Structure formats: C-alpha cells, structure tokens
Structure 1
Amino acid sequence: LSIVLNPSSLGVSVNPLTFLSPSDKSLFLLGATGTIPINLYGLWWTLVTASFLHGSILHIFFNMAALGQLGLFVLREFGFNRFFVIYTLTGIAGFFISYIAGVPFTIGASASICGLIGAILYYGKSRGGFYGEVIYKQAMGWIIGIVIFGLLVPGINNWAHGGGVISGILMAHVLGYHEKERENLLHRVLAAGCIVITAVFLLWAVLRAVYYSLKVPGF
C-alpha cells in the first residue's frame, strides 16, 4: 500500500535489509505502534494493525516463511478459530509488552509468529510422549534461534518476541487443542470477534493513510 500511496518514499538501497522500505511516516499512518503513536497520539488500535506492516521485502519474506511453517501446524492441531485468536491476541500482547518497555516505534508479524511458537511449545510439553517431545524441542530451537538473531541484529523488538511467546503459551493453555478439546462455540465467537476487530482497524488505518496522502501529498 505504501508503494501505491507514495512510491517516492520507498528505500531503494542495495542493502537487502532496507530494499523497498517504506518511510517511517508511511508506516505511522498505516498503523505502526509503540510509545510514539500511543502516547503522543492515543492510537491504541495500532496494537492490532502493526502486525500487518513490514519494513522491507526481506522482512516480509522471513515472516511469511516462518508463518507458513508454524501456521500450518497450529491450524492442524488447534483449528482455524483458535489459530486466529492466538495469532491476533499474542500480537497485541507482544506489542503491549514492548510498549510498556518503552519501544518507540515498531511493526511486523513476529510478535504473532512468536505467539504461535509459544502455543506449539505448550502443545509439545502438554501432549508428551515421543511426538510431543520432538515438537517441544523444535519449538525450543525456534526460540533459541530468535533470541540469537535478536541479540546479533540491531533494531529487533525482543520485547515483542518475548511477550508473544509467553502469551502464546498462556493462550494455548486456556484454549486447548484438538486432542484435548474440539473447537466449540466460544472459540468461534472469539475468532469472529478478532476477525471483526482486525478488519475494522485495518480498514480504518488504510482510510486514514489515504486521507492524509491526499490531504498532504508526499507523506
């Protein structure tokens, strides 16, 4: 959307970490979160929308690759409704933790993805047996990799990652998974609520960005 609204603001560096990176102002208007959007402008809804924004093509690629692997597992073992609830609420929780920690400006799906890892970690430990142990070790491997990456690469929101993992464990414990409990009406209602809230805030973010791009060209 940043490309459509304001292509001149995109980064065209040969650095793959910043190639086709939208400007901070574009990300702010589209729903980035942190202490700046929340404390200065009261934009609490950005705790939802920030999960759907990324800082570069490489950022999108890595997160979507992780989501493709982890999401399919959670969909299979938890079901779509619980998957969407976990994905949505752990993203909010992760960004809220990073807000409390004072992170000024942040985006990305990694808080929600870490929430899925937390849910998988809980699943493996709770299920037990050989299969559960394998899943648990794989989830721990993901966590170790994320921690190392977060320590080596500057600008990583480690608070959101940690908040995502912890809230993912809690959400999996509360919601359960197929082998313990099939999806029920409560899960469907929660998922519907998350879908509606996400759709409304994303639509608002897009309309807001379009409005300001037309009102103030070159945002």
Structure 2
Amino acid sequence: MAQKPILCPRCRTLIGSEEQTCSRCGTSRNASWWQFINRTAGVLEGEWLVRALITLNLVYYCVSLLVSLYIGRGGGFLSPDRVSLLLLGATGSVPLDQFGRFWSLLSANYLHGGILHLLFNLMALRQIGPWVVNEYGPSRMFIIYTLGGIFGFWVSWQAGVAFTIGASAAICSLIGSLLYFGKSSGGAYGASVYREVSGWVVSLLVFGLIVPGINNWGHGGGILGGILLGMLVGYNGRSRETSWHQGVALLCAAMTAAVLIWPLLTMLPG
C-alpha cells in the first residue's frame, strides 16, 4: 500500500510519500509522539548547562554583595555598589579605556546591579537557553552565549557606553542564534521560530526605548553576534556537534573561570 504524505512529528515539514525520514530534521515518518519525546529527551541532558549558567550568575551576584560589604561601600538594598562591580569586572569605556581591563568584556556578563536585574535576565535565560540547546547542542550554545556576550559588550564599548553589566548581551546572542536558525531552516517550524523570536526582538527594542539605563547597544550587538555565530557553528538540522565545538566550549569555560576567579584573588589580603 502506498504511503501517504504526512507532516513531520517534530518540525511539521511535509514528508513525501516516498520518503522514510524528514528531509528537514531527520525524524522517521513512523515515529509516534511518544517516540519523539523519548528521542528528544536527550535535550534534557543539556539542562545541566542552563542550570549551571543560572547558578553561576546567582553565585556571582551574591559575591558582588559580599564584596560591597567587605569594602564598606554598600550600594543599597540587595544592590552592589559601582566600585565593587568595577573591581569584579564591569565593562565599558571606563574599565577598558582607563584601566585596560579587556577581560571585563567577558566577566561583565555575570554581574548584575540589583535583584530585579538579575531575576529578569535569569527568567529569560531559563526560557531561551533550553531552546538553543535543543537546536544547537550544549557546546555550541555555550560558545554562542560566551562569545556573543563578549561581542555585544564590544559593540557597546565602541558606541561609547561608559559602564555596563548584565547577562542580557549574552542572552540576546542566544536570541540572535534562534533568529538565524528560524530563517535558515525554513519550513513551518522554522517560520514559527523566526516569527516568535522576532517578537522578542521588537519587545526588547520597545523596552529599551522606554526604560532608562538599558544598554541597547549591548542588546543589539548581542543579537548580531548570535546571528553570526549561529552561521559559523551551525545547528543540529545541518550538522552535529564535533570535537572542535567541544574544544572551543571548554576554552570558553576556562576563560570564564579565569576572569571570574582572578578579581577575587587580587582582593585577598597579601
């Protein structure tokens, strides 16, 4: 009996009558929704990375509060002061041009100015991070998060932003990578991804125009960096993660550990 064309259980791309697997994502035409859930359950293995990033941001926020107390310059209720943030790795034209702290382009991604700043970014990371892990894999997700955050803050530095912190540049790079994925992969699923993520970009733009103190240059740079990195590293629908991706991700992890630990070591009494 001839097979009928069906929609892919995963990405909703049409599987022709003579095709056994989806030409877009490789899912078998015979895969039930339960089989699909089991197949993609491996994505949950990438959840450790999202949890680790959330935990690291939380821990470093607590560290910044303790440093504020240590140097006697509390910045307010649950808010570290600017001196402590500068010592721990805030970035911008002041740290970069006046003090040559180029490593702050990375460390600033893990610093936050207050509890609401932290919570908003972590909620966004919790929503977007697993999606990027699903489409790119954990190694490539971490590469995009790290290098995209650096690129976003580099753009804001070039634009003359004096002092800036927060995970939003890195999170915006994840958004940029999803924009690229949705536009590049095509099909019904890709179109829905692109449409939803485009809505986030518009919301970010409106939010940045309304709320004072938002680093729109960092957001825009992060999105652009995410698009470029998405093109560079590829996504699961086109290629699987390789040892090269894993090696670059490990290098990003080593750099992150170094720029977060080094400021703390310099504060220890000699």
Q: Is the 8 A contact 2:68 2:81 kept in 1?
A: no
Q: Which residue of 1 aligns with 2:9?
A: none
Say yes or no: does 1:6 pair with 2:68: yes
Say yes or no: does 1:84 pair with 2:142: yes
> After superposition, what is the alpha-carbon deviation per residue over 1:85-109, rounded to whole angstroms, capped at 9, x for unaligned?
0000010000000001110000000
TM-score normalised by length of structure 2: 0.74
Extract unaligned runs of 5+ from structure 2. Answer: 1-62
Q: Which residue of 1 aligns with 2:258?
A: 200
Q: Partners of 1:174 and 1:130 in 2: how far apart?
A: 24
- The residue type paired with residue 147 of structure 2 is L
Displacement of 1:185 in angstroms is 1.4
Displacement of 1:76 in angstroms is 1.1
1:6-45 equivalences under 5 Å are 6-7=68-69, 9-12=73-76, 19-45=77-103
Displacement of 1:4 in angstroms is 1.9
- The residue type paired with residue 239 of structure 2 is E
Displacement of 1:138 in angstroms is 0.8
Q: Is the 8 A contact 2:152 2:169 kept in 1?
A: yes
Q: Is the 8 A contact 2:85 2:111 kept in 1?
A: yes
Q: Partners of 2:111 and 2:68 in 1: how far apart?
A: 15
Q: Is the 8 A contact 1:49 1:205 kept in 2?
A: no
Displacement of 1:158 in angstroms is 0.5
Q: Partners of 1:31 and 1:207 in 2: how far apart?
A: 13
- The residue type paired with residue 265 of structure 2 is L
TM-score normalised by length of structure 1: 0.91
Q: Which residue of 1 aligns with 2:200?
A: 142
Displacement of 1:2 in angstroms is 2.4
Identity %: 49
Q: Partners of 1:165 and 1:36 in 2: how far apart?
A: 24
Extract unaligned runs of 5+ from structure 1. Answer: 13-18
> After superposition, what is the alpha-carbon deviation per residue over 1:18-44, rounded to whole angstroms, capped at 9, x for unaligned?
x42111001000100001001111100
Question: SS state of the match for residue 139, structure 2?
Answer: helix
RMSD: 1.3
- The residue type paired with residue 95 of structure 1 is F
Q: Partners of 2:68 and 2:232 in 1: how far apart?
A: 43
Q: Which of 157, 169, 173 in structure 1 is aligned with 2:231?
A: 173
Q: Which residue of 2 aligns with 1:124?
A: 182
Q: Which of 42, 48, 57 in structure 1 is aligned with 2:115?
A: 57
> After superposition, what is the alpha-carbon deviation per residue over 1:62-120, rounded to whole angstroms, capped at 9, x for unaligned?
00000001000011111110011000001000000000111000000000000000000
Which structure 1 residue ranges, 4+ long, deviate > 4 Å from structure 2? none
Question: SS state of the match for residue 118, structure 1?
Answer: helix
Displacement of 1:11 in angstroms is 4.0
Displacement of 1:10 in angstroms is 3.4
Which deviates the most, 189-198 or 199-208? Answer: 199-208
Q: Which of 205, 215, 236 in structure 2 is aligned with 1:157?
A: 215
1:104-123 equivalences under 5 Å are 104-123=162-181
Q: Is the 8 A contact 1:33 1:95 kept in 2?
A: yes
Q: Partners of 1:61 and 1:10 in 2: how far apart?
A: 20
Q: Which of 63, 69, 78 in structure 1 is aligned with 2:127?
A: 69
